[in-house]
A and B are shown apart, each in its own frame.
Chain A
């Protein structure tokens, strides 16, 4: 199994809703990432988990809350989002952290629309 899966593929939510994005990999990777990508822009790093512990938080607003329940799963909990948070949310994983030449494998993303 050499893929990263993400659910849902598409999500539409109101500003008062609470929803979660899910990411899963079974490659034995110990680093997992959340990125946000706006149209025609490169991915922007949001969070990095290493060995199930939060390693990097790129000053992301608290309305985004990551969670890593185990080494295969990564969640992103969403609450009270703003329309400008609409974007493609990408999950990625790698064998180890960047800094060791570790290729990141990306999931297909969740297309989020906030109304």
Chain B
């Protein structure tokens, strides 16, 4: 089966660091995406990990461990505009599908 888990909601303070975890068990795996989605808007691409390790891109970093079926998204120097849903999605390989996790709603407070 396909199972991708994320915390449902998280709250953090402006200027702080927050880590959003994602664990997955899928029949195929060719990489993992993170998308950001503001309420009522389209998901936008944040990162893609295919190899183990940390990928850094400005205030956002994403980590992958294929052996553990685990990824996280790290957001630094949080801003109010970072309040959004964060979707972890597995590239299902031969299934030709992007399998989305349940999403994490992040609220950044002043």
Contact = CB atoms under 8 A, between A and B. Distances in A.
Nearest to A31: B96
Interface residues of A, number: 27
Contact of B87 (A42, A48, A50, A100): A42
B44 interface: yes
B45 A48 contact: no
B30 to A, nearest CB: 6
B97 A48 contact: yes
Interface residues of B, number: 27
Among B40, B41, B43, B45: residue with most chain A CB under 10 A: B43
Contacts of A55: 96
Contacts of A101: 30-31, 48, 50, 91
Interface stretch (B10-18, B57-65, B74-82, B99-107): B99-107
A109 B93 CA distance: 26
25 contacts: A40-B105, A42-B100, A43-B43, A48-B96, A48-B97, A56-B96, A90-B43, A97-B96, A98-B30, A98-B95, A98-B96, A98-B98, A99-B91, A99-B92, A99-B95, A99-B96, A100-B30, A101-B31, A101-B48, A103-B33, A104-B98, A105-B45, A106-B42, A108-B41, A111-B40
Interface of A: 4, 40-45, 48, 50, 55-56, 88, 90, 97-109, 111
